[in-house]
Amino acid sequence: ASPSIKLLVDDPIVVNPGEAITLVCVTTGGEPAPSLTWVRSAGVLPDKTVLNGGTLTIPAITAEDSGTYSCIANNNVGNPAKKSTNIIVRALKKGRFWITPDPYHKDDNIQIGREVKISCQVEAIPSEELAFSWFKNGRPLRSSERMVITQTDPDVSPGTTNLDIIDLKFTDFGTYTCVASLKGGGISDISIDVNISSSTVPPNLTVPQEKSPLVTREGDTIELQCQVTGKPKPIILWSRADKEVAMPDGALQTESYDGILRIVNVSREMSGTYRCQTSQYNGFNVKPREALVQLIVQYPPAVEPAFLELRQGQGRGVTMSCRVLRAYPTRVLSYEWRLGGRVLRAGHFDLQDSTEFTVSSLSRDSYGLYNCNIINEAGAGRCSFLVTGKAYAPEFYYDTYNPLWQNRPRVYSYSLQWTQMNPGAVDRILAYRLGIRQAGQQRWWEQEITVNGNIQKGELITYNLTELIKPEAYEVRLTPITRFGEGDSTIRVIKYSGEGEFHCGFEDGNICLFTQDDTDNFDWTKQSTATRDTKYTPNTGPNADRTGSKEGFYMYIETSRPRLEGEKARLVSPVFSVAPKNPYGATNTAYCFSFYYHMYGQHIGSLNVYLRLKGQTAIENPLWSSSGNKGQHWNQARVNINPPTSFQLIFEGIRGPGIEGDIAIDDVSIVEGECMKSDQPANNLRSGAVGPLAHIRLLPLLILMSVLSHQR
């Protein structure tokens, strides 16, 4: 059954601040037994709330704890049950008064024989408990024909009581007191005294002559002053007169009891005109008096650039420009250019807003920190230019295919590649300082890599790190050197990642740097089941990639028309290079070349794989071959390879007698170690190359095209 509950409390609950309050919620039905939760409409429950099942206790309630509290029962059967109560915390605050001269005459002064009204106002919670009482010179007053006590309609002016004195007499002068209280008790009363006498006069506002305009500097503390006279003295309201923006404290109006507005940490945005104005509260309810104060904030010039690094080679020129964005006063501005503590040039601005300094030909003594100071009465703004001949940091190339290889069982080598950022910005790079250390060590081992000739932007530089100990990781630091000295360094970490391997699932955009052979009849196509043409030929080709994913890609040959029987499509791998022969005579390990193929359809032709060695482009050694329908599934082929030099692999698909002859390949890999004999295909063909097997360093031809002149 759905839950039901009831509250064992009144609604609303009116309490005094500081009292403890307990709300009790009990279940009256529900199966299974519902759970009870208390929530508050104004947000989270007070921090001091104590919860015990359906009981909520607030030990010492405050005005901030007021609001609607709800008990919710839920047992996941039907709709949750909810009961609410409103907690009201008594409060009495913000007592104020105002005096209204005879409303029937256009006179701001109190006069004998005319009417005068005294009004008192407070904020009361709950408003229905509010009660007022009036006293004159400490004695209670009751409403009469000449002393009329009323309470203003709460919809017009809530919490307001009025005392109308009709036909003011000399004997009516004295101190009138209105007392506000709450009938429920527990809250201190508010008493407001108002003196009515012959000296009770409306206010007047003036600004001392030396107090406007006021000139100050940004960051200082300033006091704006309006002198107020009258009895009683009203509250003064400060606001911006020139624009609709907040005051420095964030409010639209700021109250002052002595007519002074104090601003700490003056900013330039605070410049402008301020209005001081009498409030009707604690004074006369007459047309407000007001006066204006002008504030002028001086601030140092704002300039750009604050800091700029300029890199330039010796013998070249460099120009520095410092521009003024804002300043007050804007005239007269002066400037000075300095290098270190030496003044290079100084002067004054005319009509321009910027100044330049040029070094026509940089020498070693010309490098350094140049400062341009632009100065006004409030201070100085500074542009700083660091002129240096330091080369930019090199940028490591992280996309090298399988940069790690091994020459001996316990050590490995790494092909480090980088480009030079903005090589033409400074003098020619003469060398690189290479630092290397094992991860976690403090000491760097350093050597210089000499550079012959000019480095071009984007040029890929290669340096082989050897004798690295397995399986340690290393930090590598590279620093360019020019005739100026050392440039910015860059650091990377290289990690031993196991044996050299190559894997390609044709998922990336460049299909692992495989290319189409220009001498064939048509091309291999990259495809997935999700992207293939809706008009594909049925009864041939794969329904997913080798892993079973319909989003995964593979390479295939499309044998639909206009393809003819016997036509060939050839896919060529990147060039794989072989590391130098082992000088220690250790036996080298074989490598296993493997791939998956899919040959399904009644018109399947042939799939051949060839090995092409470096320098023997006219000779292609057959590695593997298969023909005919192999069924609607992927098959794996594994072949041991033993090339003595750099090589490429060629996949050749041959179209059969009809359109149901699509052939696909996927997941091509080369892994160290011989293929497992149990899986070795019967038609495995070995390369006819002679000589001991070298370790294959799986590095595409694109990567090998580094400028060898930059290697040491």
CB contact at 8 A, 232 and 193: no
What pLDDT is attached to residue 577?
63
DSSP character at residue 288: P
User: Measured between alpha carbons, how far is residue 27 from residues 78, 83, 499 in Å?
Assistant: 15, 11, 69
What pLDDT is attached to residue 575?
80
User: Measured between alpha carbons, how far is residue 32 from residues 1, 3, 27, 477 in Å?
Assistant: 7, 9, 11, 68
What pLDDT is attached to residue 457?
93
CA atoms within 13 A on the CB side of 358: 4
CB contact at 8 A, 589 and 693: yes
Residue 515 in tokens: 């290319």
Domain 502-697 CATH class label: mainly beta
Kindly report, as residue ranges, where domains of CATH 2.60.40.10 are found in the chain: 4-89, 92-196, 201-299, 305-388, 395-498
Q: Is the peptide bond before 471 cis (omega within 30 degrees of 0)?
A: yes
In the block, which residue shows the tokens 């930090």? Answer: 475
Kindly report, as residue ranges, where domains of CATH 2.60.120.200 are found in the chain: 502-697
What pLDDT is attached to residue 103?
66
Under-50 pLDDT residues of the chain: 580-587, 679-712
Name the CATH topology of 4-89.
Answer: Immunoglobulin-like (2.60.40)
Architecture per CATH, 395-498:
Sandwich (2.60)
What pLDDT is attached to residue 246?
86
Name the CATH topology of 305-388.
Answer: Immunoglobulin-like (2.60.40)
CATH of domain 92-196: 2.60.40.10
Q: What is the torsional sign of CA 454, 457, 460, 462?
A: positive
Encode pLDDT of 42-67 as tens digits: 888 998 999 998 999 999 999 999 99
What pTM does this model have? Answer: 0.49
CATH of domain 201-299: 2.60.40.10
What pLDDT is attached to residue 409?
63
Rounded distance between C-alpha atoms, residue 679 and residue 507, angstroms: 26
User: DSSP letters of 170-239?
Assistant: GGG-EEEEEEEEETT--S--EEEEEEESTT-EEEEEE--GGGSSEEEETT--EEEE-EEEEESPPPEEEE
What pLDDT is attached to residue 375?
92
Q: What is the torsional sign of CA 222, 226, 229, 231?
A: negative
